[in-house]
């Protein structure tokens, strides 16, 4: 147990960075594995899409269901156990002989391990930092983009030189490094720990706009899953080779990484409230919906589409947490994120198979990407509708009204749910966010 964190807290930041790097890097490379498993086991797109969908669904759901385990045993044990389980799941994948066995190993077991490791690694950083927390979390979240940039290229070369079984074995060894990262995350002194609030509570549901955010996240996750699973396959339909198609996922990672940095800075220096900032993504959703099939037929257009989608994704994920804070208040963010995580998990599960059925019926990827673009567009439109329903349509709010919009919209909170500010001063308040699902 660490009494005075000193410079050790930055070692925890680096460890958490690599946790996000490994988990998100492997998870968002599902489009590459979709091509491999489809060819190896000779199944259609619908059957094969369940592999990636189950992985994303179980990862997000585990962060909610096993939260009691995380609270009981601490983030250090959780991250180390998650690394061990995910390593076992990937390692067992090299012995599978049927696609349905891949569902269990690569999907369920690996997803449980990733879910156990992802959220506690962020909790560890939250516990260590009273000041400079935003900078620390920004570094940690940078691991998401870095992983999406790096792993598709690494996996592509591993598949060339070690085949798919050797690739899964190598990724199993990489996932085992999560145990090393978890070992660095010593628990802080008891005086600095806080009791976690309920992750699923009725309090955020009293706000109608929060209902809209949950539905919007369902559509966002639904559409994003389709893109990550089918983009490499769609590109290959137009003659792009496997290696070049794999690099498209890295392009999305580069664009999203850049967008997160830019929009995070703009969000903290903007006169707009965070929900209004989030609604600016409506225009990006329209662009993604309308021009994808027009760009995908040549490689330059594919790169352009990836840049556009990466910026959309970076914008949405940047302002999602801030908008959630605005709706339910920072003291109750964990409660709200429990529902958001569940809706993201549900969208991840349904997106891939739904697009697979559409591809199977129409024999065209184009309609699947229209479905994905429409889902992304609806996620923004729903937020727009609920925003106006709650806040009116005043286009030119003054500074006082902006400050009023920043206040939490959840009212009449029962006293038993309020944190004790006599015990937890403002500078020491720890707000634990279930941010793993946004990965």
Per-residue pLDDT 10s for the chain (439 aa) are 544 456 788 899 999 999 999 999 999 999 999 999 999 998 999 999 999 999 999 999 988 887 777 777 888 899 999 999 999 999 999 999 999 999 999 999 999 999 999 888 888 887 887 777 777 877 888 888 899 999 999 999 999 999 999 999 999 999 999 999 999 988 776 555 545 555 556 777 777 777 877 888 899 899 889 999 999 998 898 888 998 999 999 999 898 888 777 766 665 554 445 555 555 555 565 556 556 666 677 788 888 888 888 877 777 666 666 666 666 565 555 566 777 888 899 999 999 999 999 998 877 888 888 888 888 888 877 777 766 665 544 433 444 444 444 444 444 434 433 443 333 333 333 334 434 444 5
Strand partners, 188: 2
Domains 1-195 and 197-410+431-439 share a fold: yes
Residues across the chain: 439
Question: From CA 175, how far away is CA 169, in angstroms rounded?
Answer: 10
Domain edges within the chain: 1-195, 197-410+431-439
Computed from CA positions of residues 359, 377, 244, 300, in that sequence, does the dihedral angle turn out positive or negative?
A: positive
CATH number of 197-410+431-439: 1.20.1250.20
The model's pTM:
0.82
3-state secondary structure of 4: coil
Which of 341, 8, 25, 4 has its CA nearest to residue 178?
25
**The architecture CATH gives domain 1-195:** Up-down Bundle (1.20)
Which of 123, 203, 193, 194 has its CA nearest to residue 416?
203
CB neighbour list of residue 395: distance below 8 Å, 6 or more residues apart:
none
Buried-exposed string 215-248: b where 16+ CB fall within 10 A, e elsewhere: bbbbbbbbbbbbbbbbbbbbbbeeebebebbbbb
Q: Which residue shows structure tokens 């409506």?
A: 282
């Amino acid at each position: 147990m660490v009494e005075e964190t000193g410079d050790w807290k930055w070692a925890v930041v680096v460890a958490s960075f690599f946790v996000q790097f490994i988990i998100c890097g492997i998870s968002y490379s599902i489009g590459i594995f979709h091509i491999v498993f489809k060819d190896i086991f000779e199944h259609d797109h619908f059957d094969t899409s369940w592999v990636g969908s189950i992985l994303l669904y179980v990862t997000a759901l585990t962060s909610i269901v096993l939260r009691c385990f995380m609270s009981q045993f601490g983030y250090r044990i959780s991250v180390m156990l998650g690394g061990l389980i995910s390593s076992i799941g990937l390692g067992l994948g090299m012995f599978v002989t049927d696609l349905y066995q891949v569902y269990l190993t690569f999907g369920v077991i690996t997803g449980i391990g990733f879910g156990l490791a992802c959220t506690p690694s962020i909790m560890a950083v939250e516990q260590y930092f009273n000041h400079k927390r935003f900078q620390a979390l920004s570094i940690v979240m940078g691991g998401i983009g870095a992983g999406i940039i790096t792993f598709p290229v690494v996996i592509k070369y591993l598949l060339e030189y070690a085949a798919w079984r050797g690739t899964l074995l190598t990724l199993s060894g990489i996932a085992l490094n999560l145990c090393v990262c978890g070992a660095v995350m010593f628990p802080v002194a008891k005086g600095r720990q806080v009791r976690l609030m309920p992750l699923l509570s009725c309090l955020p549901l009293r706000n109608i706009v929060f209902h809209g955010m949950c539905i919007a996240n369902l559509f966002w996750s639904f559409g994003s899953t389709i893109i990550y699973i089918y983009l490499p396959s769609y590109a290959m339909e137009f003659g792009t080779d496997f290696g070049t198609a794999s690099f498209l996922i890295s392009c999305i990672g580069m664009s999203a990484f850049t967008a997160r940095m830019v929009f995070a800075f703009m969000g903290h220096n903007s006169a707009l409230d965070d929900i209004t900032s989030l609604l600016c993504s409506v225009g990006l959703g329209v662009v993604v919906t309308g021009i994808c099939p027009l760009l995908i037929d040549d490689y330059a257009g594919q790169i352009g589409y990836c840049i556009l989608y990466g910026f959309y994704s970076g914008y949405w994920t940047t302002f999602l947490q801030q908008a959630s804070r605005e709706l339910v208040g920072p003291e109750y963010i964990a409660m709200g994120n429990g529902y958001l995580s569940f809706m993201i998990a549900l969208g991840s599960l349904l997106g891939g198979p739904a697009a697979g059925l559409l591809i199977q019926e129409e024999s065209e990827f184009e309609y699947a990407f229209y479905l994905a673009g429409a889902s992304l567009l609806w996620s923004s439109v729903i937020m727009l509708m609920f925003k106006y329903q709650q806040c009116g349509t005043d286009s030119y709010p003054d500074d006082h009204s902006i400050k009023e919009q920043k206040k939490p919209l959840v009212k009449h909170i029962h006293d038993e749910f309020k944190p004790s500010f006599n015990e937890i001063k403002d500078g020491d308040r720890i707000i634990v966010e279930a941010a793993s699902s946004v990965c």
